[in-house]
Amino acid sequence: MHLHEHDENNAPNQAKEVSPTDPDAHLAHGVDGAQPPLESDGAEQHRRHTTAAGIYGIYETAHFGIKEMGVGRAVHTLLKLNQKDGFDCPSCAWPDPDGDRHTAEFCENGAKAVASEATLKRLTPDVFATHPISELLKWRDVELETLGRVTDPMVRRRGSDVYEPIAWHEAFDLIGRELRALDSPDQASFYTSGRASNEAAFLYGLFARQFGTNNLPDCSNMCHESSGTGLSEAIGFGKSTVRLDDFAMADAIFIFGQNPGTCHPRMLTELQKAARHGCRIVSVNPLIESGLIRFKNPQEPAHMLVPGGTELACLFLPVRVNGDLALLKGLMKEMLEEDARTGGAVLAHDFIDHHTEGFEPFADDLRRESWEDIVADSGISRDLIRQAARIAMDAKRLICSWAMGITQHKNGVANVQSLVNFVLMRGQIGRRGAGLCPVRGHSNVQGDRTVGIWEQMSPEYLKALGDEFRFRPPLKHGFDTVCTIEAMHKGGIKVFIGLGGNFLAATPDTNYTSEALQRCRLTVHISTKLNRAHLVTGEQALILPCLGRTERDQQASGEQFVSVEDTMGVVHSSRGVNPPVSPHLKSEPAIIAGIARATLGDKTTVDWEALIADYDRIRQHIEHVVPGFTQYNVRVRQPGGFYLPNDPYQGKFRTASRRAKFSVHPRPLNAVGDGRLLLTTIRSHDQFNTTIYSENDRYRGIAHGRRVVFLNPSDIERLGLHRDEWVDLVGHFESETRRAERFKVVPYNIPAGCAATYYPESNVLVPIRSVADKSNQPTSKSIVVSIEPATASATAS
């Protein structure tokens, strides 16, 4: 059953099949305030910290935690963070140790995420009443963050410039009326951020499909969709093939397009263990990041006093933006040639013969590549390529790790599959200390996908879901994130519901996306704190405040816990420890159930009240629908949880041939034209995804501002620019141009011809139609820009 009976043959196809591309995309002018405001004085350049964590990291953790939570609450809360009887960190998805854990099992950035959620500051209806939406749109993102936790459900009514309180039942009724009034279920879209628990995500997907649509975009569409697509094609599995303790066993770790010191700081502890055991760590990234230079582990007080800290990477390869595939071809060509010189002593020929396919076309393609082209396209010298290849050839156990520096390009899937080629050549998969490790950026983004948040779940999953709840799920693929935005812009999506996240700031083409959101009849955000996405709304808007990870969840049968999956496939419990910040909060599962009851009425086959009364019942259903969750309620209660099945970890591949696939990909053409640069977006250290904790980045020497563009000194001179000059960045895509105003020039050690700047300030430059082949992921790491004198001035906000 569906709430709306309709012809499934007319349901929307997912982006990989048919994209509802809007021909007027380049005409978007945006909504005032959709972009973060301009800066007056702008950022200052200070001494760069080249050692990660250390005493300064401890100071920052304590200072921020006490400022937000107070001493007692900070100590009580943080000591339960990432503990087996505590709650899971709401920031990154890096796994926890299987065995004993430190008393303080967290990093600086995780502690800041917790302090942000467990803050003593409250955003009450009175505060909303005194600050109209038009005023809040002028605030900087860091100022919105400091308003604190939303305490009550709030509504923006048609034509109003303020949010006002609304009762929960009225909010649910409003959503239900708008959803039922749609001509088709496919005119609604249900977005999910990585913060949602397995239980909430499963209910969310169940509700959307009972309503009648697979429009379930998520943040993975924008971050690791290329990883999932590339890995699934090559090895039949879209996740990491290693476990945490494999890092200490590795002889070599290659880290591509990733900044662990800022984005996954607890990874540095594992890299430190590896380095101390003699592992050779190679960093491949346009910027040489402080987190991979040296590390002082806060868990080792005596070591904190030693000058310098532990050196991590032994070799830095400052590849040109999107030069990774060319570099990988160079590494693999060197290995192939050395194998020929040594009579077959380098490659894992037995593994290649018995466990892979496609090697000969792959090898022929490498032989045809010229070293001149490889060096030119990668920006890495022949000697450095040889050094890195030697490290790979000498390693008996090698791990390849990566993040969005690999995935957010037009050739993102090709990049991922080239990493697969790299490990297959020496059989570096399916054994301890070796394998592939895409590092997910948000806690439980992987778990959400596992339990059903995807616009193109398999027919097997949909059948199991339908059998479990006695209904007929829609079979046609829904819209991913990019297609959802395009459909909203064209009027095809009229109701948007976001389960967490900051949709406006996280997505590409800010002006276009802001116009798309305003064309909705209703936008709904299930959130803990205010962000810019709540201020650029449809005709009507709701903010539904939910419990955070840190808070106790009391339901009819007693106190509940939820579960999450980390980046290495471990599912474990998360139990809040603090009382809710307001009596008016509901849990994410309870909010979803409230929307479902108000929308579906007596047409639903689900006993939503029973599921919310006891989350064990939700987990029982997940066990019946999703493979790998056998005895879910028993195993999730075990300290540390349990591992989901992982065939490649056992040396098995779920491809049609039961073999891993070598693939052939051309080097991308990155020619940008005279006077132009290839720009990549990055995150500052005091930032988690789109949440800005402060406008400082000590690892890059930036303070009191964010609108900066990092340029090679030779490009500054070549373009006639000057340090601290205000400039505009003009993006070029096909015949379109986009402008990001007022950025300060910062000389930096970045490859010539390349540039870098922080997001979300630079998202305005990412075209909605510039996406990765196959995965439809936005190309936020490959933006062609020119630089012009600043056209705007700013006054202090």
Question: Which residue type does 139 have?
Answer: W
Angle at 568 between CA 563 and CA 571, to 5 degrees: 20
Whole-angstrom distance, CA of residue 655 vs CA of residue 387: 34
Token pair 């992921």 is found at 777
Two tokens at 645?
């099945």
Predicted local distance difference test score (pLDDT) of residue 598 = 98
What burial class does residue 86 get, using C-beta atoms within 10 Å of its C-beta: 0-12 exposed, 13-18 middle, 19+ buried?
A: buried
Q: Contact at 8 Å (CB) between 250 and 395?
A: yes
Q: Contact at 8 Å (CB) between 490 and 20?
A: yes
Distances (CA, A) of 340 to 333, 423, 730: 11, 18, 48
Q: What ranges make up the beta strands (E) of 726-765?
A: 726-733, 736-747, 754-758
Whole-angstrom distance, CA of residue 532 vs CA of residue 666: 40
Whole-angstrom distance, CA of residue 656 vs CA of residue 742: 52
Two tokens at 772?
């990765």
Q: Contact at 8 Å (CB) between 256 and 284?
A: yes
Q: Contact at 8 Å (CB) between 275 and 282?
A: no
Q: What's the pTM?
A: 0.95
Token pair 């962000």 is found at 531
Half-sphere exposure of 546 toward its Cβ, with a 13 Å CA cutoff? 25
Predicted local distance difference test score (pLDDT) of residue 27 = 55
Whole-angstrom distance, CA of residue 620 vs CA of residue 672: 54
Predicted local distance difference test score (pLDDT) of residue 26 = 55
- Collect the ranges in the chain with pLDDT lower than 70: 1-27, 795-797
Domains identified in the chain and CATH numbers: 8-21+123-223+444-629 (3.40.50.740), 36-47+673-789 (2.40.40.20), 63-117 (no CATH), 228-438 (3.40.228.10)
Distances (CA, A) of 491 to 319, 346, 518, 727: 42, 57, 10, 35
The DSSP output letter for 478 is: -
Whole-angstrom distance, CA of residue 711 vs CA of residue 720: 12
DSSP string, 590-655: HHHHHHHHHHHGGG--S-HHHHHH-HHHHHHHHHHHSTT-TTHHHHTTSTT-EEPP-TGGGT---S
Assign 436 to helix, strand or coil. Answer: strand
Predicted local distance difference test score (pLDDT) of residue 483 = 98
| Predicted confidence (pLDDT) per residue in 274-299, tens digit | 999 999 999 999 999 999 999 999 99
Distances (CA, A) of 782 to 36, 52, 457, 677: 21, 27, 29, 10
Predicted local distance difference test score (pLDDT) of residue 7 = 30
Whole-angstrom distance, CA of residue 705 vs CA of residue 65: 22
Predicted local distance difference test score (pLDDT) of residue 793 = 80
